[in-house]
Structure 1
Amino acid sequence: MKRNILKNITLDRGEKVYKDFRKLNAKGYSCQILLTTKRLIIYSKGMALSRGRKAKHKKMNEIDLNAIHRLEYYIESVKNRIWVRLIGLLLLAGALYAAYALYMGTISIPTTILPYQPYTKYAAAGFLGFIGLILIFRVSKTLYLKINSGANERTVEKFDVNKYNELAVRYIASKVRAGK
């Protein structure tokens, strides 16, 4: 298959292309969506799980707009698990204690290991504190596009959350609803 979807399909008589989204950032693979007056064509290429193993896949899914009876999109936000956040809290507390101990002079660093520069002895504590903050407050976001069509055909695409992907999914949803 070629990278351009338009070269892989043939358009029917009277069928026009509404929009071609070539730069969608999917989670773990590349995805392109082409919206025409009659069809929604999704082309994805990348790694996928097949029988518990990773396998390369190239998939083109053509969905008739009249067959779509449910289209939903949403953003899912997932925080780290509680034990990861607790480890981050312990790292942050340890880094704050180490910085305080270095400041008060209870921990001394020999000058042969670290030449004296102002505030360089606090770099390791700051780095550990930064890692702790990341573990505590990190949130992963995923944009889902779920399409139910036909009797029991279900298509689920996972995208990174950015402005282009959100606008593309909103545009697709508005055209699918307007086409009915």
Structure 2
Amino acid sequence: MNDPTATATALAVGLILLGCLTGGLQVLGLRRLAARAHVPSDERAYLRGRYRRRLLTAAVLIVTGAMIGGAYLSGMEERALQLGEHHDPAVAPDEAADKPGMTDAQKQFVRIWSVYWIVVVVLVFVLISLALVDATASRRYWLAQYRAIREDHQTKLRRDLAVYKQHMDQTRGGRFGNRLGGDAGGGGA
């Protein structure tokens, strides 16, 4: 059968390794950015923010992986399962009355266990939020770059069109005379 401890350990190790790898890449990226002398200020700000967001994401991945692994490797999950076996909700109320209630230590453990897993769920939510913030920031930056490139392209097209029209007017005016303003030579009939 599939051992939940082995699965959780594999998940935890995977998250920790992914966090370490991406964190290392972000630190390397920050160092490279600092070494580059000629980077436009908007690009520098975007890249610095991106590296920092992704470094924070890597740290949250490492903490999440460590907490998942810690829950299983510390025996916390096994203890929670044992408590669940003693208090089976499927047991008839008559039989449950014969069994003793939870001790204060067990109640305290259930509170700690609940808070522990709530923190893990919150960390997963933080990971998703950081990914959305990063995607939004990247989209906003690249759309601004696209608009700037498009505007530059439109400006060049307008300039080229004006030069073309001027050239055509000069060609027509020199070859056929100025049709709008009368004869080019000023002489008449």
Higher helix fraction: Structure 1 or Structure 2?
2
Q: TM-score, normalised by structure 1?
A: 0.31
Larger radius of gyration: 2
Q: TM-score, normalised by structure 2?
A: 0.30
